[in-house]
Structure 1
Amino acid sequence: MQNVVKDNDLTICRHKNCHSLCVTDSIDSVLNYRNGSIYAFKGNFFWPILDTSVSPTEQTAKKISDYWNPNNNSKSLFLGPIDAALKDDNGFTYLFKLNTVYTFKEFEFIGSQKVDAFKSIDSILMTNFSKDYHMVYIFKDNNYWQIFPIYKMYNWTEMGDIYQKMNVKRIHRSFPVNIDATFEDNDNNVILISGENYMKIESNKFTTAIQESDFEMKFIYKDILNCKKSFYNQTIYRNYDQFIVSLITEKFGFPKQLRNEPLAVQCVDNQSAKQTNNWSKTLYYERLIIHLSTN
């Protein structure tokens, strides 16, 4: 069931249906399928990631509705975006869309549940502390729910009654808010994605032993998405470095004449960037300088 998506627009993709994650500025959700494969969702499509043999471009995009479809009818599409995704140890896959959780066994639709505790969620994470013990975290804005291990299909409708909502700053004062996607990779690291940034934290340190140094931000394109430098040579950016410069300067609305001038971006007056959170403009400038000097 391969579906090749064609899209000649390779500018920075901010709309719902990006056909290449290598030019997107965000990801909707990530699913560790627990068979060695990890998938990223954006709009109506998904791609394999953390796979050195493939990049998430228009040629590798697949339609969500061709694999997970609660209507069990190819003529009735199951459209994204998917807010969060999880596969548990019992083989159940849960796709969160607004306040509804759709449950699948492999690709067979089992049922859906309305969850009154939230209108939508930002991301969901399952960590494996050992072979027989895991923990699930649900993130929404600056809050999270911690769900203790359950060895059957989850009853998400009980969330508002059983599980206490807590502020993410209880995990760590530098913990980012508005996380787009979270997942545990195949090397037992927790990956937090916000926009085009990611952070990697060892699973055994999450959430009790996180340190300030664990919140180092990096771009998702090479490490997580496996986007090749040769891909950017065929775009309007001409190379990967120019794409990163355009992404950052466009994000903060700098004049067009500065977007292709890395040195000018470095010299922008940081008085306009006095923010207190970890995702501030000042850090973007610093990361841009580091990126251009080390790549």
Structure 2
Amino acid sequence: MLLLPLLGALSLSVYATQSDPSSEEETLRYLQQFGYLQKPLESDSEDFSPEEVQEALRVFQLASQLPGTGVLDDITLEKMRQPRCGLEDPFNQKTLRYLLLGRWRKKNLTYRIYNSTPDMTSAAVRTAIQSAFKYWSDVTPLAFRETINGRADIRISFHQRGISCSRPFDGPGKVLAHADIPEEGAVHFDEDELWTEGSYLGVNLRIIAAHELGHALGLGHSRYSTSLMAPVYTGYKPNFRLHDDDVKGIQALYGKNIQTEEEEKIVTTHVPTSSPEPTPNSPIPNPCNDSLDAIILGPYGKTFAFKGDYMWTVTDFGISPLTRIQALWKGLPGNLDAAVHSQRTKRTYFFKGEKVWRYRDFKLEYGYPKLLTRVLQNIDAALYWEGNQKIFLFKGEGYWQWDEYGWSNLSPNPKKISSLFTGIPPHLDAALTWKNGKVYFFKGDKYWRVNKQLRVERGYPLSKAERWMQCRHFD
């Protein structure tokens, strides 16, 4: 391999030039193993040129949402060491969306679980696998049936390192599982991992199984880091759903599940989805460019974002069409200062100027709006904090805590935000506690997430437009 000449030719960072050769060898192995470095069939050379390695490294970085420098650094190595799927990534082919690797010629498929893992009961393993199949059957006409005898279409098993697997696993971490493309049907899990369900510990079997079944059904890896078919495992998510890229990819192979779509229309009739009509006095906001007036995890567990006279819902698939606020919350004005939904009382509070509106679901409660008498008017943001079941109100550099069921000291002089939340800027646009229990703060196009110690987590702030509104486009 062209290893040492490569380092000089690429003008790598101080870290890279001083790193031990094992890190450089590890990088080259990774780029080859996962398809970033591939020799043309007509080439007799076993070496890669410095330019080839730099380009492969750059493509990996871009696919991993890292700066595409082509330079080996700490962050790039850390990304390469994250647990992931054993199949290759197609990003060196400049794939912009889902990649299709094949398809089954039938829509009724059988599967068989040949062995289990001692980390979970057999019943828990079966339930996790069934749930993994359901992600795909919910959005396609595919049907899956378990069999306990004979050869099935999709064959599921657990393997220890170097035992009875044509592509041996590498021990804990690193490669978690791999699968064959249609119509071969093998799906293998690394038994050296700690397989779990309903826990942030170990590796979630349901999510990894759904990913590998995506391969077994014909999907390649996705460049969207929040997609199920992204190559890197990002951890347990209690409310996990397929990404729009996953859905479009599998439906390109097998079509849509018409029955599920009709049921979804019925479930979502609570939230109007008709496009708003523009008016001269109320410009339609652009969720990708405009800041937020407010954002809540509101009724029916939906995430509602507000700007001007309009609102929209934020989902794992992106955002819904914009609609007028008053189409959902009758009597509520636009250009809100803040909003918060209490998980404790199931009431939603909206703030504007010196007034507060309170709704139960989408119905304004008797006696509202009321005047704000104990806090300053024109607050910036509000959130419900699960930690103490109180509502936090923010204005400028300060905040108040309010207990809906008890007396609260809401003096004209709020406490400093910096005295409680480390790293959060003043003069916020919006805030909320989301489904994962994490607290998020928004200002402009940036958002911050805090940990249990109420400090901003490493890597933040990030782009609201890219991560929440999913406005990022690959060129």
TM-score range, shorter chain: 0.5 to 0.7
Name the amino acid aligned to 1:62: T
Distance 1:144 1:108, change over 3 A: same
Which residue in the other structure is 1:114 paired with?
A: 371
Structure 2 counterpart of 1:85, from 320, 339, 354: 339
2:370 and 2:433 map into 1 onto residues whose CA distance is 25
Match status 1:3 vs 2:274: yes
For residues 29-58 of structure 1, give each alpha carbon's deviation from its aligned partner in whole angstroms, at most 9, with x where no partner exists. Answer: 001115321111000001111x122335xx
1:214: how far off? 4.7
For residues 201-238 of structure 1, give each alpha carbon's deviation from its aligned partner in whole angstroms, at most 9, with x where no partner exists. Answer: 23xx2xxx2346557211111211122527xxxxxxxx
Distance 1:91 1:98, change over 3 A: same
- 1:67-146 equivalent positions in 2, closer than 5 A: 67-70=328-331, 78-88=332-342, 89-110=344-365, 111-116=368-373, 117-129=375-387, 133-146=388-401
Which residue in the other structure is 2:306 paired with?
A: 41
Match status 1:210 vs 2:471: no
Match status 1:52 vs 2:316: yes
Q: Which is bigger in relative contact order (C-alpha 8 A, separation at least 6)?
A: 1
1:63 and 1:98 map into 2 onto residues whose CA distance is 20
TM-score normalised per structure 2: 0.38
Distance 1:172 1:127, change over 3 A: closer
Contact 1:126 1:137 (8 Å CA) reproduced: yes
Name the amino acid aligned to 1:84: A
Which residue in the other structure is 1:221 paired with?
A: 465
Which residue in the other structure is 2:326 paired with?
A: 65
Q: Which has the larger radius of gyration?
A: 2
Which residue in the other structure is 1:286 paired with?
A: none
1:173 and 1:93 map into 2 onto residues whose CA distance is 27
For residues 86-120 of structure 1, give each alpha carbon's deviation from its aligned partner in whole angstroms, at most 9, with x where no partner exists. Answer: 12222211111111001111111112210133121
Distance 1:5 1:20, change over 3 A: farther
Name the amino acid aligned to 1:221: A
- Aligned to 1:187, what secondary structure does the other structure show? coil
1:184 and 1:173 map into 2 onto residues whose CA distance is 16
TM-score normalised per structure 1: 0.60
- Give the fraction of aligned pairs with identical amino acids, expressed as a percent: 19
1:20: how far off? 2.4
1:168 and 1:23 map into 2 onto residues whose CA distance is 26
1:19 and 1:179 map into 2 onto residues whose CA distance is 19
The alignment's C-alpha RMSD in Å is 2.7
Distance 1:212 1:104, change over 3 A: closer
Could you list the runs of 5+ residues in structure 1 that have no partner in the other structure? Answer: 8-14, 71-77, 231-238, 240-295
Contact 2:311 2:324 (8 Å CA) reproduced: yes
Contact 1:174 1:215 (8 Å CA) reproduced: no
Bigger fraction of residues in strand: 1
2:432 and 2:357 map into 1 onto residues whose CA distance is 18
2:432 and 2:345 map into 1 onto residues whose CA distance is 17
